């Protein structure tokens, strides 16, 4: 309830910003479920006297509205910050900065979040607020984690843990242990993640915190899932979910149901996954958490697509995209784009598939680029500040020395020093100009040499690949036409001279096996279908030969590939697809592989997606591994990208631009 002082109104008219904020809230109809007291109570807070209690209530409103109405939350937080500064209330100022930073993190506005948290940290250090300092280190860890600066996030959480351990605040100690475990999980240090989650669970047990213990069980389930122990993960999800459901903790149950649904879908249990996603979605819609709604709706759409409900999947994916974009949820927006691309591919809409996939890639790249730009700018700012401080110190020392010299030597010495300084300055400028000119010319020369070396290397690489393919083709022809014919002749002679005994039968069987092996080797080195019938039949044959094994299914879709490409392009794309399939078989442990070959205008796109454990680029190997893929893509003037697939697996995307006759034929 609001305090009595909150119910009194200030004299005079209501300020314009209050009227505007109330209008926004009434239009949006956004009131947090469970914790809210309605727009009427918001009006009471806004009309209360401008004191320190009002600052804290405004900060509480900022935090409460962060999920359902971020714009209103920003207004509350900004008003709390302005009032705290007006009242010279540092604790309230730090709290408002903290709450605003949380919203900026949710919106991926990382520079604003970093600035707010650094200001809050300075204030709390100045007033000696140790618990507040620990909380800021925790929020900085969340910020760095969102930017994938995981090692820095780990260091911030360790500082927070040390503070809460020293203060004896066990519940917060358990929270930070869970955060550290999640960071180890994101760094793929699964044993460390499991150890920290177990430590957090032990603290919850010691405190008698059954809710915290169930939360730790859900977190441990995610770790076991990544370690490949799906059965134990499902047991823990089920245990945690049953506890939250029994206790009536609906939001916590929704988290576990959503996580379990992802596992069920990955195991092919799409019907069970749809039920769990629907339960989580209903709870989150009741709570009004639009970011979480977008997450559950994307999962439900994915499950619907799996069982063939394409129209339903399309509706849910479109709504998820709209919600995610409305609240600025970058990760949910990316997943919605990616899912819509798959849906359009299923419908045979090549243009829409390509556009949506490129939007997904562009958004993912923009997050990475923004992160890197922010880090570089921050580093440059710190270096520049240190340099300026050093320059100021040097200038002060020089000024003191000059003043002493002027006082001692008088006006004559002053004039002499002036002309001397002028001469030295001129010489210095000449020397500096000469050095700059020399450095500029040397850099230009070095850049020209580097460009020539790169061009020569690219040409050498292209020639090497062409020679390799020609040699493969020659060897394949010799194996098929030379050794293959000899083996055929050998089988004929054995058959004509066979006496019918067991030894003759065994020799004939060995000759047949050798003949089949020679044909397979010749086909792998240079399939005749690639030269005779084109890329699509050759790829279909290669996928059938390579992926037709027990426990593994595959699907091959192609659009707009009626016209032939150049032999170099067809061979290059075929070899890249062959290498990706080999890597999937070696490393992914997948149950299903989707391959799409699209042509849109002057671009050919190859997408290979599996549901395996995820492909670590460092594990592809040397030789014909990642470097070979990149080299072949570069020779085709294209690009290749490997990225993780949610909830598990890998997506490889090859883009090859078409020029000359290819473009004319495709029009």
pLDDT recorded at residue 592: 93
Residue 300 has pLDDT above 60, yes or no: yes
pLDDT recorded at residue 45: 86
pLDDT recorded at residue 274: 92
Q: Which of 134-138, 351-355, 588-592, 598-602 has the highest mean pLDDT?
A: 134-138
Q: Provide the token pair at 456.
A: 């020569």
Alpha-carbon distance of 577 to 527, in angstroms, equals: 13
Alpha-carbon distance of 339 to 313, in angstroms, equals: 9
Return the higher-pLDDT residue of 373 and 456. Answer: 456
What number is the average pLDDT over the span 234-248? 88
Return the higher-pLDDT residue of 419 and 196. Answer: 196
What number is the average pLDDT over the span 579-587? 89
Confidence of residue 9 (pLDDT cuts 50, 70, 90): very low
CB 218 within 8 A of CB 240: yes
CB 174 within 8 A of CB 207: yes
Q: Provide the token pair at 662.
A: 């290819």
CB 55 within 8 A of CB 40: no
What number is the average pLDDT over the span 430-459? 78
pLDDT recorded at residue 231: 86
pLDDT in tens, 67-77: 888 888 999 99
Q: 10 by DSSP, 3-state: which?
A: coil
Residue 298 has pLDDT above 70, yes or no: yes
Return the higher-pLDDT residue of 27 and 214. Answer: 214
Q: 603 by DSSP, 3-state: which?
A: strand
Alpha-carbon distance of 263 to 648, in angstroms, equals: 9
pLDDT in tens, 604-633: 999 999 998 876 655 554 445 677 788 888
Q: For 136-140, 182-186, 501-505, which range has the lowest pLDDT when averaged over its residues?
A: 501-505
pLDDT recorded at residue 448: 79
pLDDT in tens, 242-281: 888 898 999 888 898 888 888 888 888 889 989 999 998 9
Confidence of residue 361 (pLDDT cuts 50, 70, 90): confident
Alpha-carbon distance of 651 to 341, in angstroms, equals: 13
**Inter-residue long-range contacts of 108-117, CB under 8 Å, 24+ positions, other chains counted:** 108/146, 108/328, 108/330, 108/367, 108/370, 109/328, 110/143, 110/146, 110/147, 110/370, 110/371, 110/374, 111/374, 111/377, 113/143, 114/140, 114/143, 114/374, 114/378, 117/143
Domain range list for the chain: 366-521, 535-666
Residue 566 has pLDDT above 70, yes or no: yes
pLDDT in tens, 22-67: 444 443 444 444 444 444 478 888 888 999 999 999 999 998 888 8
Q: 176 by DSSP, 3-state: which?
A: helix
Confidence of residue 500 (pLDDT cuts 50, 70, 90): low
pLDDT recorded at residue 519: 60
pLDDT recorded at residue 445: 79
Confidence of residue 168 (pLDDT cuts 50, 70, 90): very high
Class of domain 535-666: alpha beta
> What one-character-per-residue DSSP string does 274-330 give?
HHHHHHHHHHHHHHT-HHHHHHHHHHHHHHHHHTT-HHHHHHHHHHHHHHHHHHT-H
pLDDT recorded at residue 458: 64
The model's pTM? 0.45
Which secondary structure element, helix H or strand E, spans residue 655, and what is its range? Answer: strand 650-657
Residue 99 has pLDDT above 70, yes or no: yes
Q: What percentage of the chain has pLDDT greater than the value 70?
A: 73
Q: What are phi and psi of 291, to 5 degrees?
A: -65, -45
What average pLDDT does the chain have? 80
């Amino acid at each position: 309830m609001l305090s009595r002082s909150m119910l009194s109104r200030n004299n005079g008219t209501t300020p314009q910003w209050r009227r505007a904020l109330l209008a926004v809230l009434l239009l949006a109809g956004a009131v947090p479920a469970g914790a809210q007291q309605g727009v009427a109570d918001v009006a009471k807070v806004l009309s209360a006297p401008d004191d320190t209690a009002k600052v804290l209530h405004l900060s509480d409103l900022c935090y409460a509205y962060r999920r359902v109405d971020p714009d209103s939350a920003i207004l509350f937080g900004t008003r709390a910050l302005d009032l705290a500064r007006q009242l010279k209330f540092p604790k309230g100022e730090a709290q408002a900065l903290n709450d605003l930073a949380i919203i900026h993190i949710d919106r991926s506005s990382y520079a604003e979040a970093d600035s707010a948290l650094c200001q809050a940290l300075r204030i709390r250090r100045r007033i000696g607020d140790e618990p507040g300092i620990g909380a800021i280190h925790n929020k900085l860890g969340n910020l760095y984690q969102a930017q994938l600066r995981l090692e820095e996030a780990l260091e911030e959480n360790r500082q927070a843990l040390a503070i809460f351990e020293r203060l004896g605040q066990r519940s917060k100690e358990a929270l930070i242990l869970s955060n550290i475990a999640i960071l180890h999980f994101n760094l793929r240090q699964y044993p460390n993640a499991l150890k920290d989650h177990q430590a957090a669970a032990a603290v919850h047990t010691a405190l008698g915190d059954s809710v915290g213990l169930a939360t730790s069980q859900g977190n441990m389930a995610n770790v076991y899932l990544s370690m490949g122990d799906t059965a134990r993960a499902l047991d823990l999800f089920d245990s945690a979910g049953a506890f939250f459901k029994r206790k009536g903790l609906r939001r916590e149950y929704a988290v576990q149901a959503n996580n379990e649904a992802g596992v069920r879908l990955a195991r092919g249990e799409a019907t069970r996954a749809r039920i769990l996603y629907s339960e989580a979605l209903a709870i989150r819609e009741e709570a009004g958490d639009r970011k979480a709604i977008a997450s559950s709706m994307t999962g439900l759409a994915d499950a619907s697509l799996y069982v063939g409900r394409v129209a339903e999947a399309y509706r849910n994916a479109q709504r998820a995209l709209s919600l995610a974009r409305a609240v600025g949820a970058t990760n949910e927006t990316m997943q919605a784009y990616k899912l819509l691309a798959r849906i359009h591919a299923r419908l045979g809409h090549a243009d829409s598939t390509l556009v949506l996939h490129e939007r997904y890639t562009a958004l993912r790249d923009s997050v990475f680029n923004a992160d890197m730009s922010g880090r570089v700018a921050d580093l440059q700012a710190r270096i520049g500040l240190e340099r300026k401080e050093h320059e100021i110190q040097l200038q002060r020392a020089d000024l003191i020395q000059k003043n002493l010299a002027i006082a001692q030597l008088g006006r004559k010495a002053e004039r002499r020093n002036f002309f001397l300084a002028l001469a030295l300055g001129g010489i210095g400028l000449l020397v500096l100009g000469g050095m700059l000119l020399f450095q500029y010319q040397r850099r230009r020369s070095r850049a020209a040499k580097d460009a020539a070396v790169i061009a020569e290397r690219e040409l050498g690489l292209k020639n090497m690949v062409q020679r390799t393919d020609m040699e493969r083709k020659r060897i394949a022809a010799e194996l098929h036409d030379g050794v293959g014919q000899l083996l055929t002749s050998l089988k004929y002679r054995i058959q004509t001279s066979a006496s019918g005994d067991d030894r003759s039968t065994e020799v004939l069987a060995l000759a047949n096996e050798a003949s089949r092996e020679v044909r397979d080797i010749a086909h792998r080195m240079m399939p005749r279908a690639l030269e005779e019938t084109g890329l699509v039949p050759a790829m279909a044959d290669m996928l059938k030969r390579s992926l037709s094994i027990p426990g593994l299914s595959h699907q091959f879709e192609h659009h707009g590939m009626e016209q032939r490409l150049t032999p170099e392009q067809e061979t290059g794309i075929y070899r890249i697809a062959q290498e990706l399939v080999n890597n999937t078989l070696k490393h992914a442990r997948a149950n299903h592989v989707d391959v799409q070959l699209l042509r849109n205008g002057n671009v050919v796109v190859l997408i290979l997606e599996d549901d395996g454990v995820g492909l670590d680029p460092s594990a592809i190997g040397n030789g014909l591994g990642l470097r070979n893929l990149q080299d072949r893509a570069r020779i085709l003037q294209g690009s290749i990208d490997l990225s993780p697939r949610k909830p598990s697996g890998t997506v490889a995307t090859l883009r090859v631009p078409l020029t000359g006759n290819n473009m004319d034929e495709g029009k």
